[in-house]
Structure 1
């Protein structure tokens, strides 16, 4: 068992999958009209296609994807939002909110994401943070947590500002995070919605601007969201997601023009579904190593992968994925089930592409007898030596005392 464990400790498994690498532009990769674009696998987060995907650009109303996510994470859908005067000055697309009007946050989110209402964005920002500026700071913090390092927003709606920018890649990351929120998914997949408003003449009916969801001409099978955007400076922008055969892809196109925005998104999604597939390369719960447990009632503990790990591969070509199992060499009892005791590193072409924790499969209690045995065999001889030294000292003292007595009585007898 220990010999096997030692072998496992140093194992580096090279999985030869008869699949290809993932370049940004294969022969046959789509021609995109937009100035910047990216396609990612929502499950793995891998980039399947990129065109200036890290270039900072105006995001227009795709900004609202982050606004909605922040709102869902920091407020309740049932919150009743009182509309302030600043919302009326937002400019651009609106649903004609009036000062003092009270609307549930849920309705404002539908107005934000379907109708792309800028006034709803300001109302949401002020409700959550007290001001547009403070909400922008909160949004930027959330963006950094997601990994959107090239994003900086100054408002919740995307109206042009030289300090308001993002990238195609960052927007894809933000959308990927947002689509993990079920309420967000429900909102962005809705074609039409009716809000509750006291004024009978106020706009109540909302229609989603994302033609991929409903248009007979531009519609795309399996579309699940997410958001469109337009300003003169930003051009036509879109974040589009679609799901087929258990896979979901997210495409982002920035600064396209006219109907090209829909054909660009369609080309990217078709490219991803046609040329790539995902494969499970690590199975959660699978035993990957076995290591010794010092002072444990069990001499060893199995280490299992903490979760599943999928990787997206192209259907053509050949490449390899390296899986390195790196458990701890030894652990001291007690061991708790689920305790992290190593990692599985996944890399391709020398670049790390993933990491999965190795965790203890079960509990291992401390064996107190085993724990004390090493000390016992060290302490026992020392105790014996101290005892022996003490006995020798006592013996010598007695001998000296007897010797003195003999000398004393011998002198008296004379």
Structure 2
């Protein structure tokens, strides 16, 4: 069967949706900032989102993600001489000391321990350089295409940079890991050390966990070169947002709260299509019936809070050629969403019902019966002609 594409346009609204906020966007001192919806990945606020910046210790979000993807929590890390000589914040590991990877991750993300970051890098990547390669591969897999990481802790390096948008993308993926979410939402934690005299009580450096209602993480950062950096996340009324601030000169806690408040109040999250609901019926080549089209998952989108919920982005269906037999759940096309700026997302569409192939027997039997009737008709006609001829001959002889 020759392939074809059927494009069916369907509109929810007669008014085109404009992605503008209901209230004035806040001003922040940070050189770069982003607010992102954790569920959808939709960006709700930006300030220089693609500007390359030093991330300082927010780097450790990616460090933790790479470790979680490559190392078992019950494994142990061992402090080398390079580890114990790492500069900056630390829990002061001793050479040869071992930590469970799970405890090391708490020290990494709560106390922002650079020595632990180096130990985890050696465990996962064999060396700091090897781990940096893993970090960059993981970043690209998260959709962070304008970043480059040279170390696991975020100490200054000219080749070590990211953007507010890239860091939001990395954080969104990391927050999808249950253990990561558990760590970054923890205020204090006791870990097991070799000696009772060693620092074992960890206190999260993220002050928003105490100050901002609904805060659920994630990571702080500071160097002289990077200035104040913060990735914050919070939940309110079932919605979860990420706020990223890089290069702030002060007041990063208040600015993060302002950005999160803005995202929660200026937008509301709506479900444009619901998984499993029928959005159309479509023909099936050689099928006995039409096939139902159902979205494989729900599609959520933030709209300005002052907009009518029915004034939504438009959507259309892209249907692939469908030939019988069709199994329920088979991919048959996509639901594509767009606004005035272009496409905003798409969802796969699957068959909501099975469709059997039309049998050839009714066609064959119909043809056979028609042929028999035609043959019988010819026989009757021929018999009639012969009968007329015989009567004609008898008349002539008489």
Q: TM-score range by the shorter chain?
A: 0.7 to 0.9
The count of residues paired between Structure 1 and Structure 2 equals 363
1:360 to 351, 369, 386: 351
**CA RMSD of the aligned region, Å?**
2.5
Q: Distance in 1 between matches of 2:15 and 2:239?
A: 20
After superposition, the C-alpha distances for 1:284-338 in whole angstroms (9 at most, x for unaligned) are 1011122222334x3221110110011101123576511111223x412232222
Give the 3 Å change call, closer, same or farther, for CA 238–267 of structure 1 in structure 2. same
Aligned to 2:281: 290
Give the 3 Å change call, closer, same or farther, for CA 370–158 of structure 1 in structure 2. farther
CA contact (8 A) 1:40 1:172 kept: yes
CA contact (8 A) 1:289 1:327 kept: no
Aligned to 2:150: 154
Give the 3 Å change call, closer, same or farther, for CA 373–117 of structure 1 in structure 2. farther
2:264 to 266, 270, 273: 273
Aligned to 1:310: 300
Aligned to 1:348: 339
CA shift, 1:98, in A, is 1.6
Aligned to 2:9: 11
Q: Distance in 2 between matches of 1:213 and 1:188?
A: 9
CA contact (8 A) 2:293 2:349 kept: yes
2:102 to 68, 88, 106: 106
Q: Distance in 2 between matches of 1:140 and 1:118?
A: 19
Give the 3 Å change call, closer, same or farther, for CA 10–262 of structure 1 in structure 2. same
2:323 to 313, 322, 332: 332
Q: Distance in 2 between matches of 1:362 and 1:309?
A: 21
1:241 equivalent in alignment to 2:237: no
Aligned to 2:243: 251
Give the 3 Å change call, closer, same or farther, for CA 320–303 of structure 1 in structure 2. closer
Q: Distance in 2 between matches of 1:324 and 1:123?
A: 51
Q: Where do residues 168-187 of structure 1 align in structure 2 (5 Å cutoff)?
A: 168-187=164-183
Give the 3 Å change call, closer, same or farther, for CA 201–16 of structure 1 in structure 2. farther
Q: Distance in 2 between matches of 1:102 and 1:247?
A: 39
Q: Distance in 1 between matches of 2:10 and 2:286?
A: 29
Aligned to 1:388: none
CA contact (8 A) 1:59 1:166 kept: yes
1:53 to 41, 49, 56: 49
Task: Say which SS state the counterpart of residue 239 (structure 1) adopts.
Answer: strand
Q: Distance in 2 between matches of 1:179 and 1:89?
A: 31
Q: Distance in 2 between matches of 1:158 and 1:40?
A: 23
Deviates more, 1:71-80 or 1:229-238: 71-80
CA contact (8 A) 1:16 1:321 kept: no
Unaligned stretches of 5+ residues in structure 2: 1-5, 372-398
Deviates more, 1:69-78 or 1:312-321: 312-321
After superposition, the C-alpha distances for 1:365-410 in whole angstroms (9 at most, x for unaligned) are 445x339969x98xxx9xxxxxxxxxxxxxxxxxxxxxxxxxxxxx
Any runs of at least 4 consecutive aligned residues in structure 1 with deviations exceeding 4 A, and if so which?
317-320, 371-374
What TM-score, normalized to structure 1?
Answer: 0.82
